[in-house]
Amino acid sequence: MIPFKMRPDEILNEARGFNEKLAQGVGNLMDVGDIPSGVTPKEAIYKEDKMVLYRYIGDEPATNKTPMLIVYALVNRPYMTDLQENRSTIRGLLDAGQDVYLVDWGYPDAADCYLTMDDYINGYLDRCVNVIAARHGVEKINLLGICQGGAFSLCYSAMHPEKVKNLVTMVTPVDFKTPDNMLSRWIQNIDIDLLVDTQGNIPGEMLNWTFLNLKPYQLMAQKYLGVVDLMDDPQALKNFMRMEKWIFDSPDQAGETFRQFAKDFFQGNKLMKGEVQIGEYTVNLRNVRMPVLNVFAEQDHLVPPDASKAMKKCVGSKDYTELAFPGGHIGIYVSGKAQKTIPPAIGEWLNAR
């Protein structure tokens, strides 16, 4: 028995209404115009190869004298933290008195495929930290790492603890083999060496295909249906397009970095075991003794909460705080609720230290 109550004319009306909205909406879509990659004013401080270090300009001078560096993942682009004026984690951090810097990794091309995690973390990132520390005449700065960038920040803090005053990690995986980690399950049977040796860099489309397939019905179909209802509102449509642009703006990932991240982190789960070797360093999370704020999303389908919470028993810090957000991997940066709670909480935590 099908519990279905619709008259044919109602079906017809709904279908007609849908098509009309869609046709009209696409008209509005054409008028959306250029979508900016980030909205908060910023200045480039330091450049190296394709990497740029930015400093964001707040309305008021920062009250926290220790500058903060945001380390974003290599997948996707960092403007997710600065999508629109009222949806900007960076704006929120500025308003919370932080002096915000961000490292933009750029789009690696085939000639960058030999960039290793050592190059990224002990090279680019370390030099960014040095530049910021020198500018402010301080020895230590605050680090805020996001997702894969969180794992990078964690490694950096373990290798260079003398340069990190406080560490904030957001949706950062530490235990890569929690039973609910779909992404990790998928990667276990993949011959990473064959993949990297054959492809060089890992194409952004491949990474994107993988991420979207974690929830294909919602992410590739249903969400567009939902937007059809908003399509007569140009502002809502523009906001939708900001997110859409971001989701499909996927840089390729440098082959050698992907090789180590996939093999050592995802397949070997070596970060937890203290067996990750980066350049001349063995990454021992016990060296992470500075205060740590670990922020995770309770409905994260990419980095399950348990993957993040494993950090607690791995780091050497006595001042370890967890902050759980009731939302998803992306919602933690862009949802209205997150705007009101997350950046102020981070600011407060940092200002108290």
Per CB under 8 A, contacts with other proteins among 31-60 are 32, 35
Interactions with other proteins, residue window 186-205 (CB under 8 A) = 186, 188-191, 194-195, 197-200, 203, 205
**CA–CA separation, 144 and 163 (whole Å):** 13
Interface with other proteins includes 139 (CB under 8 A)?
no
- Contacts of residue 308, Cβ cutoff 8 Å, sequence gap at least 6: 169, 171, 172, 173, 174, 294, 296, 300
**CA–CA separation, 167 and 156 (whole Å):** 10
Question: Is residue 126 packed enough to be buried (19+ CB in 10 Å), middle (13-18) or exposed (0-12)?
Answer: middle
* Residue of 98, 52, 45 whose CA lies nearest to 79: 52
- The residue among 228 and 323 lying less far from other proteins, judged by its C-beta, is 228
* Binder among 36, 224, 275, 326 for other proteins (CB under 8 A): 224
**What per-residue string of b and e applies to 181-200 under the rule 16 or more CB within 10 Å gives b?**
bebbeebeeeebeebbeeeb
**CA–CA separation, 60 and 55 (whole Å):** 14
Which range, of 145-153, 155-163, 217-225, 325-333, touches other proteins by CB under 8 A?
Answer: 217-225
**CA–CA separation, 135 and 55 (whole Å):** 11
- The residue among 100 and 237 lying less far from other proteins, judged by its C-beta, is 237
User: Is 147 in the active site?
Assistant: yes
* Binder among 209, 232, 235, 275 for other proteins (CB under 8 A): 209
- The residue among 247 and 323 lying less far from other proteins, judged by its C-beta, is 247
Interface with other proteins includes 107 (CB under 8 A)?
no
Interface with other proteins includes 245 (CB under 8 A)?
yes
For 54-84, the three-class secondary structure string (H helix, E strand, C coil) is EEECCCCCCCCCCCEEEECCCCCCHHHHEEE
Q: Any idea what the Cα angle at residue 213 is, between residues 209 and 219, rounded to 5°?
A: 100
* Binder among 36, 65, 107, 111 for other proteins (CB under 8 A): 111
- The residue among 7 and 318 lying less far from other proteins, judged by its C-beta, is 7
* Binder among 95, 244, 306, 322 for other proteins (CB under 8 A): 244
Interface with other proteins includes 214 (CB under 8 A)?
yes
Catalytic residue among 113, 128, 147, 155: 147
Q: How many CB atoms lie within 10 A of CB 337?
A: 12
* Binder among 41, 47, 114, 324 for other proteins (CB under 8 A): 114
- The residue among 196 and 342 lying less far from other proteins, judged by its C-beta, is 196
Instruction: Determine which helix (DSSP H) or strand (DSSP E) holds 323, and give its type and residue range.
Output: strand 320-325
Give the residue carrying structure tokens 């091309």.
109
Q: List helix spans (H) across 213-252.
A: 216-217, 223-228, 234-247
- The residue among 167 and 262 lying less far from other proteins, judged by its C-beta, is 262
Q: How far is the CB of 138 from other proteins (least distance, A)?
A: 17
Looking at the DSSP assignment, which residues form a beta bridge with residue 164? 141
Q: Any idea what the Cα angle at residue 57 is, between residues 352 and 34, rounded to 5°?
A: 130
Interface with other proteins (CB under 8 A), residue total 71
* Binder among 47, 185, 273, 337 for other proteins (CB under 8 A): 185
Q: How far is the CB of 209 from other proteins (least distance, A)?
A: 5
- The residue among 17 and 326 lying less far from other proteins, judged by its C-beta, is 17
Q: How far is the CB of 254 from other proteins (least distance, A)?
A: 10
Interface with other proteins includes 19 (CB under 8 A)?
yes
Q: Could you list the active site residues?
A: 147
